Chains A and B, each alone.
Chain A
Amino acid sequence: MRRVPAVAWTVLIWLMLVTMPYWMNGLGGYTELASRVLVLGLAAMSLNFLLGFTGVLSFGHAAYFGLGAYGAAMTIKYIYPSTPLGILVGVATGTLAAMVIGALIVKLRGVYFAMVTIAFGQVFYFIAFRWNSVTGGDDGVSGWKRQALDLGFTQINILGNDKAFYYFVLVCFAVAVTLMWLLLRSPFGRTLLAIRENERRARFLGIPVERHIWLSFVISCCFASLAGTMYALLNNFTDPRALRWDQSGTFVIMAVLGGMRSFWGPLIGAGIFVVLQDYVSSHTENWMSVIGLFFVLVVLFFPRGVLGMLRRKGLT
């Protein structure tokens, strides 16, 4: 019974993503907003690889998101003006940090894990904030721009053409999301579900739980840092707020808002969050309280998130 709607959802979502720059404008949005949905959606989906499908809550994913952003920005500004190189360095930086930190915290569970991820995240935030000479401190890394893509036979101008940049982000998003989807449907992915469902049973089936959580954490952070590099490219800028704990919080909110038990839920959550933020913040400075209220209502009445609610309705 559940299979058919799942496929239908997937097709519908891809169709919407491919056409988003065209209808986003009709809804009063703009292409950059669509790119923002994709980037933050990827971050939230990456977080949810760990949260929804391994059952481990990280409240510090902005650290890896931000490391990706700084890695890309500083590479393009200081080392070599190439967009792909920036992405590569950003992702490598975030993933490497996740490998080290993950190994330190993987024995912790529940709220302790969440607290320590915040703490490590804040370490990176303060480094970026204080180390003026290298990171630009509070002002962030500006004075650089994403570079046109050189494919050898032709160049794609992703700087001047918003739509071109959107589709560039969409390609990266598609690769990342497809990889996550394949992983979750593999034997390895099922061991993660097993850990989420019942850690003790998983252990006594012979799954080395810590090693698998570490892998899941690293994979999740790797894709979060990819999202971070895209975020820096989108803004042609990054600053310490990309690393801060409240940024981590928005990823969690997006995942829970959309539905953390569903694969696409966090993307929907990110869409709602970004569009609501854009719309409400043009009317009032207190946009966060509106989103907060909306979040509380969803959690109270639809604990499985927006997508979880829609899916349930579709079934009955």
Chain B
Amino acid sequence: MSLLVVENASRHFGSLVAVDSVSLVVPPGELRAIIGPNGAGKTTFFNLISGFFPPTSGRILFAGRDVTQTSPEQRVAMGMARTFQITEVFPELSVRENLRIAVEVATGLRLSPWLTRAANAQIRQRIEVLLRMGGLEDKASRLAGELPHGDQRAAEIMMALALKPQLLLLDEPTAGMGDQETYDITQLIRRLHKEQKLTIVLIEHDMRVVFHLADRITVLAEGAVLGEGTPEEIAKDERVQAAYLGKAA
């Protein structure tokens, strides 16, 4: 069964058609990259999947359930987590506290006015695991907002991961990063995909990253699907080259 199915999703903003009848099927365990020139509707499409706003028409199914009209919170509870193009962390809290909030919410403690010793020990343990996975052990006590961009992104991804998602949505995970940071984040995503068998859908501009990571690629242009296939197929596709790769490279 497919984990994520999008059927003919469209989103209009007034007369602007940002996403025009896009369909997408992602099986469990796949890493899917969505690429396309600026203004192709990639982020709008992501917002439809994660529930930021509902589609004007079309359906979205997640793990076999119709989630088209559900709230972001409900989708998170069902196992969908996302990051944002502009990193969204809790800037004036430490990295550890950032992760703690995510872990506590994921443990179903969001309304809890107290914490038992046992629960607290488990939460701490989980936080340490996430810190290690994200390579953030020595930055755990620093304020998230003071970290370099790459570390903030790693923290954001770890917060999403704290939710133990079935599907991880990454909106331009390497946007605005230098070479070393891009490399580190790419390796991190690769590990999550390979070691945790996590299903990931990501939007990305950096073609090196895309071709390094993706199992399959979907190309969007002007709100519609221009092509879909393995990285090799996409690299050869002439329409894609004309619309996107040719100009970008």
Contacts and interface: CB of A to CB of B under 8 A. Distances in A.
A204 B76 contact: yes
B50 to A, nearest CB: 7
20 contacts: A182-B114, A183-B113, A187-B111, A188-B113, A189-B113, A193-B90, A193-B101, A194-B101, A197-B90, A197-B93, A200-B84, A201-B84, A201-B159, A203-B73, A204-B72, A205-B101, A205-B163, A206-B73, A206-B76, A207-B105
A206 B112 contact: no
Interface residues of B, number: 32
Interface of A: 182-183, 186-191, 193-194, 197-198, 200-208, 212, 215
B92 A187 contact: no
Interface string B194-238: 000000000000000000000000000000000000000000000
A205 B115 contact: no
Contacts of B92: 197
Contacts, number: 83
Contacts of A189: 113
B102 interface: yes
Given A193-B101, A204-B76, A206-B77, A186 B112 contact: yes
A212 B156 CA distance: 22
Contact of A191 (B72, B76, B82, B110): B110
Contacts of B100: 190
A186 B115 contact: yes
A208 B77 CA distance: 11
Contacts of B114: 182, 186
A193 B159 CA distance: 15
Nearest to A197: B90
B93 A186 contact: no
A215 B92 CA distance: 23
Contacts of A186: 112-115
Contacts of B84: 200-201, 204
A187 B109 contact: yes
B106 interface: yes
A42 B82 CA distance: 40
Which of A190, A191, A200 has its CB near the most chain B CB atoms (within 10 A)?
A190
